[in-house]
């Protein structure tokens, strides 16, 4: 029994890490697996603390790689975090919380709904962070609206990424479970 649980945990964690690191593959703006790995964690881990911890750690590890290898020239020394990271991580935590409520049962309609909710959460929280923490927009209601309007072109990429990765992860793992019953 422990072997079964350990194998399932290892496969789930491996899939989440692989997706988090797939951010290095060239992609459309905001076409990202990060919201989806949180949703997949909720839909797949029996212990909900794992659904929170594993996707957040995978995201952070991929951020470490991106910040210190790919974008190292933009940081002085080793970058543990980037400016404003807490807004994105807050959105990922809220996506996972939403997933807990949405994925009482996993089906196609809920995958679509969860992907849309994840995209909206990320859009609202991350762009609020751009407005609140940046100098680009005035700290007025008009500035906030301008920030959200300027970000609208990226919402489609966010939704397509969330839908694609959530479908691939949940559907792919279901296929793996059918082929290898030990993963159930």
pLDDT band at 5 (very low <50, low <70, confident <90, very high): low
Q: How many Cα atoms within 13 Å fall on the side-chain side of residue 83?
A: 7
d(Cα 160, Cα 8) in Å, to the nearest integer? Answer: 27
Phi, psi of 129, deg, nearest 5: -65, -40
Q: Average pLDDT, whole number, for the chain?
A: 93
DSSP assignment of 38-59, as one string? HHHHHHH-SSHHHHHHHHHHHH
Note the pLDDT of residue 184: 83
pLDDT in tens, 80-112: 999 889 999 999 999 999 999 999 899 999 999
The token pair that represents 113 in the structure block: 């709904």
CA distances, 121 to each of 5, 12, 72, 108 (Å): 32, 24, 29, 20
pLDDT in tens, 54-88: 999 999 999 999 999 998 898 899 999 998 899 99
Residue 157 scores a pLDDT above 60: yes
d(Cα 87, Cα 69) in Å, to the nearest integer? Answer: 22
d(Cα 142, Cα 32) in Å, to the nearest integer? Answer: 29
pLDDT in tens, 123-146: 999 999 999 998 899 999 999 999
Residue 26 scores a pLDDT above 90: no
CATH class entry, domain 2-183: mainly alpha
133 within 8 A of 5, measured Cβ to Cβ: no
pLDDT band at 151 (very low <50, low <70, confident <90, very high): very high
pTM over 0.85: yes
pLDDT more than 70, % of the chain? 97
Note the pLDDT of residue 83: 86
Note the pLDDT of residue 4: 54
């Amino acid at each position: 029994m422990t072997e079964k649980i350990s194998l399932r945990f290892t496969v789930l964690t491996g899939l989440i890490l692989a997706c988090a690191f797939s951010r290095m593959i060239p992609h459309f703006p905001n076409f990202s697996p990060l919201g989806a790995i949180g949703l997949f964690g909720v839909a797949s881990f029996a212990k909900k603390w794992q659904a929170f911890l594993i996707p957040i750690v995978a995201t952070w590890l991929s951020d470490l790689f991106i910040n210190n290898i790919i974008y190292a020239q933009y940081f002085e020394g080793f970058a543990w975090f980037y400016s404003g990271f807490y807004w994105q991580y807050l959105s990922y935590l809220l996506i996972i919380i939403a997933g807990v409520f949405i994925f009482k049962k996993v089906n196609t309609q809920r995958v679509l709904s969860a992907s849309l909710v994840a995209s909206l959460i990320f859009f609202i929280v991350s762009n609020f962070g751009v407005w609140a923490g940046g100098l680009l927009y005035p700290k007025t209601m008009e500035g906030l609206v301008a920030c959200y309007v300027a970000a609208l072109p990226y919402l489609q990429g966010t939704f397509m990424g969330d839908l694609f990765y959530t479908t691939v992860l949940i559907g792919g793992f279901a296929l793996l479970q059918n082929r290898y019953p030990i993963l159930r």
